[in-house]
Chains A and B, each alone.
Chain A
Amino acid sequence: MTVRILVVDDHPVVRHGLRTLLGAHPEWEIIDEAADGFEAVDKAGRLKPDVVVLDITMPKMSGLEACRLIRKTVPTAEILIVTQHDSPHMMREALEAGARGYVVKSNASRDLLSAVEAVSQHLPFTALNGQSAESA
């Protein structure tokens, strides 16, 4: 099944890295990139991705705020947070904002593909450092 993905991070080098990791899956398509929360909300509204891979700490609008708005405007899009914050508190905030998945950036190579796989099927996926992934 083709999964259409929007990649959102304020650092181009991280977006490059996410693209490279996600490119390992032949049926997934990176439809676009965004560098801040505003751009993410705008592009999600126009492009209707299946999955938004979303950083939290970004200029102009944080990923949490963008997550809330995208869930309202494009309810079919699932949000996967990929963040440097290895924190249960932050993970709870992200899930409350409507994210379906939460992955710590330092574990992206381990968790990213499984997480996108899960959330694209509307299943939760959360993993902090030192924890095995939890998915339904």
Chain B
Amino acid sequence: MKLRILIADDHEVVRRGLCALLQAREGWEICAEAKDGREAVEKAAQLKPDVVILDVGMPNLNGLAATRQLTQHDPHCKVIVLTITDSDQVIREALDAGARGFVLKSDAARDLVSAVEALQRNRMFFTPRVNDMVLAGFLDRGHNGSNGEPPRLPKLTAREREVIQLLAEGKSSKEVACVLNLSTKTAETHRSNIMRKLGFHSIRDLVVYAVKNNIIQVQVPATFQNPTEGSAA
């Protein structure tokens, strides 16, 4: 029986590349593609793929929030997160959301097939940096009796995180309600709860929070970037 894979990335050229990489492998098929996290969650519910590959930086619902929804719905769901950065925070959030694989986009051509193979054998696949971080956290707990994590952010529900992303992308409460199939009043209640929990008074504060916490990703023009750094795909 073929291994069925769902891939989600907002750039079609990346999806084409991922398809080319994965379909070259005998016995694997791409059962669906999605261009954002919301579409990925919907298609995963319908098609029950064996492995889901999610880009982190997608509009409407980012890959980390989508991972959380997928694993909440089905704790056995095998998700590989594709990311342009392996910052501590993204790693922590991906693990917390239930991802079983973590691959840097820049290394996808080298690592993605190995990652899918690992998940196929019910194992996990992480970059060396993730392994180091997990080990360091484990050792730190052993020595200090603490879990070594930074101070916890205010507890937000999965729905509130979705609302934050949509508001930070510039949508009004009415538009948020429309995307999430809620009443405008409920969307406004989510918005007030978020502002109260985070102690914010303006959407500007919310946008800064969303960027800092990788809920949305911002394009930085090449002229402002360090020329030695790689790009987002």
A residues whose Cβ falls under 8 Å from a Cβ of B: 9-21, 55-64, 82, 84-87, 89-90, 93, 105-106, 108-109, 112
Contact = CB atoms under 8 A, between A and B. Distances in A.
Interface stretch (B38-46, B94-102, B138-146, B220-228): B220-228
Nearest to A59: B230
Interface of B: 10-21, 105-106, 108-110, 112, 219, 221-223, 225, 227-233
Contact of B231 (A17, A55, A86): A55
Task: Give chain A's interface secondary structure class.
Answer: helix
B21 A13 contact: yes
SS class, residues of chain B in contact with chain A: helix
B12 A84 contact: no
10 contacts: A11-B14, A11-B230, A13-B17, A17-B12, A17-B20, A20-B19, A55-B231, A58-B230, A62-B222, A105-B11
Contacts of A18: 13, 16-17
Contacts of A19: 20
A82 to B, nearest CB: 8
Contacts of A87: 221
Contact of B108 (A12, A55, A93): A12
